């Protein structure tokens, strides 16, 4: 196929892909024709909870201008150590056993994290664990 023929096929295929709803720009499935996100912030950045206790984390995507980025949908949550702290799909963290874990939020190709320390049931969050 000549160079001109390949280019013509590519130009003809583009409208078909757009008409079928295919994303020809790339895998940024969390972006819905909004501004690109440049930062994902998780708050609070750190928390201490007891075994069986809960804490809620929030994640916000920010644009280039520092304002909340418009047009973004989902945040996925995960734990670096689910044996210590588990996280739900809405950012609620539950202490499982004493120890430490990072809770990671991912959205629009960005990540943010919070450090979680789970204390034994007999400890208070402000007391150091021995």
Tell me how crowded residue 92 is: count the other CB atoms within 10 A of its CB: 13
Q: How many domains does the chain have?
A: 1
> CB of 35 within 8 A of CB of 64?
yes
Interval 17-54: pLDDT, tens: 334 443 333 344 444 446 788 999 999 999 999 999 99
Residue 116, SS3?
strand
What CATH number should be reported for the domain holding residue 95? 2.60.40.1080
Is 96 a member of any domain?
A: yes
Is 92 a member of any domain?
A: yes
Nearest of 104, 105, 108 to residue 29 by alpha carbon = 108
Interval 92-118: pLDDT, tens: 999 999 999 999 999 989 999 999 999
């Amino acid at each position: 196929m000549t160079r001109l023929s390949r280019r013509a096929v590519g130009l003809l295929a583009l409208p078909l892909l757009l008409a079928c709803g295919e994303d020809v720009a790339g895998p940024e499935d969390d972006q819905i024709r909004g501004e690109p996100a440049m930062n994902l912030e998780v708050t609070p950045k750190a928390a201490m909870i007891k075994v069986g206790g809960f804490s809620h984390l929030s994640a916000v995507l920010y644009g280039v201008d520092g304002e909340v980025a418009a047009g973004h949908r989902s945040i996925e949550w995960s734990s670096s150590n689910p044996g210590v702290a588990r996280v739900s799909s809405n950012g609620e963290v539950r202490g499982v056993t004493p120890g430490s874990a990072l809770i990671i939020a991912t959205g629009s190709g960005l990540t943010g994290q919070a450090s979680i320390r789970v204390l034994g049931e007999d400890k208070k969050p402000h007391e150091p664990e021995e």
